[in-house]
């Protein structure tokens, strides 16, 4: 069979249509062995009086001789008719019983045109099958694949043509093959309405691909079922995105529900100490017994501490959830970290009759100083809250090239079925510890610990046994011992510092707050002096006779001034570094970094008197009496 291009060229060079063939759709000629015409369908019997050349048709002498030798020959010819159209003829040279040759010439133009259209249509279909991006296959009534386009082969990981002849149900995952085979033969018998469906197909390498099936019956002209046509679409990515969207939607809904629960619980826990305060104020007004008044005041302090702790915890947790906290990993001296923790909690431990012990260490870790302090603060606070008697131990151990910061307690312990639950917001253990002599257990501290550890990439572990106590461990990268501590300080004493008339400058632009602060300092044995502006504070610093042992400064001083600038100028005027505490509501990482660089301690508003006193005792106990300011 010659190619289309060659065939078209041959047709374009076709000779004119012979007159004999133009008259009839078919011509029969019988020749004797001398190649004389003895019969022609045009003229009937001629008696052998004319030769074949007289008919005006082309005769291939070589093929004619083959027919004379007893071999039947068939071939095609084409001519151009008077209208310029190509006419196709089928020629047959057949040996005759009378030792001659019978020639049959039939006009097959109509058939050739139909075949050409069929071939062109088939070629267009094959080109379409090659480029269409969907997997298309044809299956016969035995379930065998009779056609599989390249996209179908590629989708299932096969080479072109490799799938043909295989059973269609073999293309499904093993658990579906029996049901797909059963459905196939049921469809042949029952003819259900075709409907698209999802499934998983088995690739050649054993992996699975999610596909969407569209299928239809293949029917012949007589309405008989011949097989099935299937179109497959790879929907793996689409389903993955859909699952991710559904998961994200569920996470958002869960987050919304948790936030609503969080806010409801926070509102309840905040209202509880405020409600207690309101009641106790009323009781205090009506009580004249000094012992009872002292008890009420102690309860009021606990209520205030609870409200303040809740506000700080909610703020910390909201920042972690919002992602506004970006960790700044720098070398952190563990000794400095633990010294700050001990200074803050030593008074509380002494009051609770719990031994607080810090194991000395020279280790340095890579962490965020603000976040790691928050983590340790919450762990120690949690340990003291749930330890009725015994001790709380804080220390560090080397572990596989890292450092494990550990908080041990001899408290009530945590049941195994609660050891994951306690890291959820507002989850707390119900114990006898929650009496009127204890600060409200808020259930936020461990949630903050877990989220901060995730943010830092520090591993958090818990080991606990009911009735024996717990140990929380934070695994952080340990740096070389050659890294120097940033702010070396001696560990503070567990007992409060003796005020001994130490003078504290209170730099506060709100006169009422300044007066209340001085009253509190006086009750502790300090001497408080007030400056309501940077100008007043600097004027005091210039007075050589004015003693200044410590400075408490508000950050916002009004008129564009702030406590950091004021403290810096005061230090320069006195030419020595005076211990200072900045009281502020600012809590950004950049702000903490600036405080660290300038060596200024800070406390967030609202300030707990216990924390303030602990930090003051620590600074005054550790302060150098003479230090040149540079």
pLDDT band at 427; cut points 50, 70, 90: low
Per-residue pLDDT, 435: 39
Per residue in 236-250, pLDDT (tens digit) is 888 888 888 888 888
- 555 pLDDT above the threshold of 90: no
Higher-confidence position of 57 and 334: 334
**Res. 445: pLDDT tops 70:** no
pLDDT > 90 fraction of the chain, expressed in percent and rounded:
11
The pLDDT of residue 260 is above 50: yes
Architecture of domain 503-622: 3-Layer(aba) Sandwich (3.40)
CA proximity to 73, closest of 37, 49, 101: 101
Q: What is the pLDDT of residue 499?
A: 60
User: Is residue 587 packed enough to be buried (19+ CB in 10 Å), middle (13-18) or exposed (0-12)?
Assistant: middle
pLDDT tier, 505 (very low <50, low <70, confident <90, very high otherwise): very high
Q: Higher pLDDT residue, 491 or 606? A: 606
pLDDT band at 235 (very low <50, low <70, confident <90, very high): confident
Q: How would residue 492 be classed by pLDDT, with cut points 50, 70 and 90?
A: very low
The correct answer on CATH 3.30.450.20 for the domain covering 132-234 is yes
So what's the pLDDT on residue 41?
A: 83
Which residue from 290, 355, 369 is spatially nearest to 325, judged by alpha carbons? 369
Q: In what order do the strands lie in the sheet with 197-202?
A: 145-148, 135-140, 225-234, 208-219, 197-202
- Tell me the average pLDDT of the chain: 79
* CB 328, CB 596: distance < 8 Å: no
Predicted confidence (pLDDT) at residue 494 exceeds the cutoff of 60: no
Rg (CA), the chain: 49
- pLDDT at residue 552, rounded to an integer: 92
Of 138-147, 370-379, 512-521, 598-607, which range is least confident?
Answer: 598-607
| Segment 179-193 mean pLDDT | 89
Residues 6+ apart with CB under 8 A from 107: 21, 25, 26, 87, 88, 89
Task: Calculate mean pLDDT across residues 460-478.
Answer: 90
Among the listed residues 550, 574, 537, 536, the one whose alpha carbon sits nearest the alpha carbon of residue 501: 550
Average pLDDT over residues 349-373: 86
List, for residues 5-48, the tens digit of each pLDDT value: 444 444 557 788 887 788 788 888 888 888 788 888 877 666 66
The pLDDT score that the predictor gives to residue 306 is 60
Least confident range from 43-57, 112-126, 348-362: namely 43-57
> Is 24:104 a contact under the CB 8 Å cutoff?
no
264 pLDDT band, cuts 50/70/90, is low
The beta-strand segments (E) located in 539-611 are: 550-554, 580-584, 601-604
Q: In this model, does residue 325 exceed pLDDT 80? A: no
Give the pLDDT score at 506.
92
Q: Look at residue 128 in the predicted model and tell me its pLDDT.
A: 66
Please compute the mean of the pLDDT values over residues 256-281 and round it to a whole number: 64
Distance of alpha carbon 503 from alpha carbon 514, whole angstroms: 15
- The distance from CA 367 to its chain's CA centroid, rounded to whole angstroms, is 25
Mean pLDDT along residues 602-609: 78
pLDDT at 177 over 50: yes
pLDDT in the model for residue 276 = 63
Give residue limits of the domains in the chain.
Answer: 4-114, 132-234, 252-324, 325-490, 503-622
- Provide mean pLDDT across the span 262-270: 58
Out of 2.40.50.320, 2.60.40.10, 1.10.287.130, 1.20.990.10, the CATH code matching 252-324 is 1.10.287.130
37: helix, strand or coil: strand
Q: What CATH class has 325-490?
A: alpha beta
Better-predicted residue by pLDDT, 122 or 90: 90
Of the ranges 167-171, 370-374, 438-442, 583-587, the best mean pLDDT one: 167-171
> Quick one: pLDDT at residue 270?
60
Q: Are strands 391-399 and 355-358 parallel, antiparallel or unpaired?
A: parallel
Q: How far is CA 319 from the centre of its chain?
A: 20
CATH topology agreement for domains 4-114 and 132-234: yes
In CATH terms, the fold of domain 4-114 is: Beta-Lactamase (3.30.450)
Strands (E) across 24-144 are located at: 26-31, 36-40, 44-51, 73-80, 86-95, 101-107, 135-140
Here the tokens at position 78 are 């084409």
Instruction: Please give the pLDDT value at position 365.
Output: 92
Asked if residue 373 has pLDDT above 60, the reply is yes
User: What share of the chain has pLDDT > 70, as a percent?
Assistant: 79
Provide the pLDDT for residue 241.
86
- pLDDT at position 48 is 62
Q: Tell which residue, 281, 272, 358, 345, has the closest CA to residue 608.
A: 345
């Amino acid at each position: 069979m010659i190619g289309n291009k060659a065939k078209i060229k041959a047709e374009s060079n076709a000779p004119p249509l012979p007159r004999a063939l133009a008259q009839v759709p078919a011509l029969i000629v019988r020749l004797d062995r001398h190649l004389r015409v003895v019969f022609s369908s045009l003229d009937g019997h001629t008696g052998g009086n004319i030769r074949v050349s007289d008919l005006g048709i082309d005769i291939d002498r070589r093929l004619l001789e083959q027919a004379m030798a007893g071999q039947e020959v068939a071939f095609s010819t084409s001519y151009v008719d008077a209208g310029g159209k190509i006419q196709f003829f089928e020629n047959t040279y057949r040996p005759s019983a009378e030792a001659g040759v019978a020639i049959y010439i039939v006009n097959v133009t109509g058939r050739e045109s139909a075949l050409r259209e069929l071939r062109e249509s088939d070629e267009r279909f094959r080109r379409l099958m090659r480029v269409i991006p969907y997997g298309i296959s044809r299956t016969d009534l035995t379930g065998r694949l009779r056609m599989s386009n390249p996209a179908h082969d590629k989708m299932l990981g096969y080479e072109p043509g490799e799938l043909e002849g295989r059973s269609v149900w073999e293309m499904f995952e093993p658990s579906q093959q029996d049901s797909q085979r059963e459905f196939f033969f049921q469809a042949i018998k029952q003819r259900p309405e075709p409907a698209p469906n999802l499934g998983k197909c088995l690739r050649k390498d054993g992996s699975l691909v999610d596909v969407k099936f569209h299928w239809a019956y293949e029917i012949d002209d007589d309405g008989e079922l011949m097989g099935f046509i299937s179109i497959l679409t790879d929907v793996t990515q689409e389903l993955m995105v859909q699952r991710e969207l559904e998961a994200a939607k569920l996470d958002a809904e869960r987050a919304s529900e948790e936030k609503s629960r969080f806010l409801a619980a926070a509102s309840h826990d905040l209202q509880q100490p405020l409600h207690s305060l309101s009641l106790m104020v009323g009781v205090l007004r009506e009580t004249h017994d000094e012992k009872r008044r002292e008890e009420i005041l102690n309860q009021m302090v606990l209520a205030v501490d609870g409200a303040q702790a809740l506000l700080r915890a909610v703020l910390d947790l909201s920042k972690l959830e919002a992602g506004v906290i970006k960790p700044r990993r720098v070398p952190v001296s563990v000794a400095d970290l633990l010294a700050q923790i001990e200074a803050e909690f030593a008074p509380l431990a002494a009051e609770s009759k719990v031994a607080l012990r810090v194991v000395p260490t020279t280790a340095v870790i890579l962490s965020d100083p603000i976040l790691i302090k928050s983590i340790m603060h919450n762990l120690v606070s949690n340990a003291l809250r749930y330890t009725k008697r015994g001790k709380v131990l804080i220390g560090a151990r080397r572990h596989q090239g890292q450092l494990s910061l550990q908080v041990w307690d001899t408290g009530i312990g945590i049941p195994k079925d609660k050891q994951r639950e306690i890291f959820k917001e507002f989850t707390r253990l119900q114990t006898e510890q929650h009496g009127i002599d204890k600060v409200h257990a808020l259930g936020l501290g461990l949630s903050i610990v877990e989220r901060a550890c995730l943010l830092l990439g520090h591993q958090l572990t818990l080991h606990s046994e009911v009735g024996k106590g717990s140990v929380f461990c934070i695994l952080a990268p340990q740096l070389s011992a050659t890294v120097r501590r940033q702010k070396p300080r001696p560990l503070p004493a567990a007992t409060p510092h003796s005020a001994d008339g130490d003078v504290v400058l209170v730099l506060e632009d709100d006169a009422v707050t300044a007066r209340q602060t001085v009253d509190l300092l006086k009750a502790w044995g300090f001497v408080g002096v007030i400056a309501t502006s940077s100008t007043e504070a600097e004027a005091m610093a210039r007075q050589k006779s004015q003693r200044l042992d410590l400075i408490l400064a508000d950050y916002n001083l009004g008129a564009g001034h702030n406590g950091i600038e004021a403290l810096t100028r005061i230090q320069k005027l006195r030419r020595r570094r005076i211990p200072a505490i900045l009281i502020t509501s600012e809590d950004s990482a950049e702000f903490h970094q600036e405080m660290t660089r300038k060596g200024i301690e800070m406390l967030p508003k609202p300030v707990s008197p216990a924390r303030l006193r602990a930090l003051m005792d620590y600074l005054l106990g550790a302060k150098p009496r003479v230090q040149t300011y540079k």
